[in-house]
Amino acid sequence: MSVIETTPSREGLPLLVIPNCVPVMVKAFREFLPEFDGICRVRLFTDTMLDEEVLARRMKGADAVIVVGFHVGDDLLRTMSQTVRCIAFGGTGVDNYVNLEQAKEYGIRICNIVHYGDAAVAEHAIALLMEITRRVGEMNADMHEGVWHPLDGMELYGKTMGIVGFGGIGQWVARIARGFGMNIKVWSRHPHEEAMRELQAASAESIHDLFASSDVVSLHLAYNRNTRGIVTADDLDALRAGSILINTARAELIEAGSLAKRLEKGDIYAGLDVFDREPMPEVDPLRVVPGTILTPHAAWCTDTAVRNAVRQCIDSVRGFYTGEATNVVV
């Protein structure tokens, strides 16, 4: 762990603390820190610490905090509220990470980031899909071991891509899938009539209908109290043999435990970037069930998306100090 500080001697300036950091974001944060010169002091911790007591100590005396990858529980929020008046989250779905009503009562501004990595996540969803259908990684490993063994693949042309949630990421996935010659079918909680027309997408009556009628289903819903477990075991059972499920959104969208049970049947495939517990525990049924491609919540990790995320965090905090409102949720 290292600590990067700007103008630590100017104690008259307010204090921004970044109490932990994802390694891929450190470079971008360091690049943008000079933008706070004369506005506030900055204290950036470059490790991935998640312990609440340690985080609380690190944030002591801060006026503003950038939160990266940890939940702000009610007790931690209460402690932070002694001095903190702005929390900028380096991610989306902020209401899953902090009690917004409690933050409002404390007079704390809450900011999030939006559409920072739509293309990145969509491309990763397609990468998971391509690994399942064309098995490039598997053949590459064989080739490096001296094994010449072409593997059967699955052609996507003419297949149906079912998309659950049709915001920025879902629409990007649809555009790529259309490029493959796939048919698009959508279930969404919000109307997106112009995008539906543009992408010649059909509308599914229900999530169950989408699962039953698609060759590939990709999840792109925001996770909140209304969408938790929205994909049920019955929906998963509706998948036809040979179907593929892609999830780069949130694991909690799927009814707890139901995906592993469905995969145990061995007749469908799944490409997963998100899990109920992260990092994924060593003992987890999804590690051993057949037909899975797993990645460690990496869909957002591109140079452009990381820079966009950090840029929005910086702008949110600068706006707080300069009297502007950028990506304010509360």
Q: What is the pLDDT of residues 179-199, one digit of tens each?
A: 999 999 999 999 999 999 999
Residue range 17-36: mean pLDDT, rounded: 96
Say if residue 295's pLDDT is above 80: yes
Task: Categorize the per-residue pLDDT at 9 as very low, low, confident or very high, splitting at 50, 70 and 90.
Answer: confident
What pLDDT, on the 0 to 100 scale, is given for residue 44? 98
Task: Categorize the per-residue pLDDT at 323 as very low, low, confident or very high, splitting at 50, 70 and 90.
Answer: very high
Task: Categorize the per-residue pLDDT at 11 as very low, low, confident or very high, splitting at 50, 70 and 90.
Answer: confident
For residue 281, cis peptide bond before it (omega within 30 degrees of 0)? no
For Cα atoms 237, 253, 19, give the angle at the middle one, nearest 5 degrees. Answer: 150
**Mean per-residue pLDDT of the chain:** 96
**The CATH number of the domain covering residues in 118-294:** 3.40.50.720
Say if residue 154's pLDDT is above 90: yes
The neighbour count for residue 158, using CB atoms within 10 Å, is: 10
Say if residue 92's pLDDT is above 80: yes
Q: Where in the chain is the domain with CATH 3.40.50.720?
A: 3-116+303-322, 118-294
Residue range 246-273: mean pLDDT, rounded: 98
The neighbour count for residue 245, using CB atoms within 10 Å, is: 30
What pLDDT, on the 0 to 100 scale, is given for residue 233? 98
Q: What is the pLDDT of residues 223-232, one digit of tens each?
A: 988 999 999 9
Say if residue 265's pLDDT is above 80: yes
The whole-angstrom separation of Cα 40 and Cα 10 is 9
What pLDDT, on the 0 to 100 scale, is given for residue 20? 97
Q: What is the pLDDT of residues 38-62, one digit of tens each?
A: 999 999 999 999 999 999 999 999 9
The whole-angstrom separation of Cα 15 and Cα 98 is 21
Catalogue the active-site residues.
250, 278, 297
CB proximity list for 51: less than 8 A, separation 6 or greater: none
Task: Categorize the per-residue pLDDT at 96 as very low, low, confident or very high, splitting at 50, 70 and 90.
Answer: confident
Tokens of 278: 């992260």
> What is the layout of strands, in order, in the sheet containing 292-294?
202-203, 183-187, 160-164, 216-219, 244-247, 269-272, 292-294
Task: Report the CATH fold assignment for 3-116+303-322.
Answer: Rossmann fold (3.40.50)
What pLDDT, on the 0 to 100 scale, is given for residue 105? 97
Say if residue 1's pLDDT is above 80: no
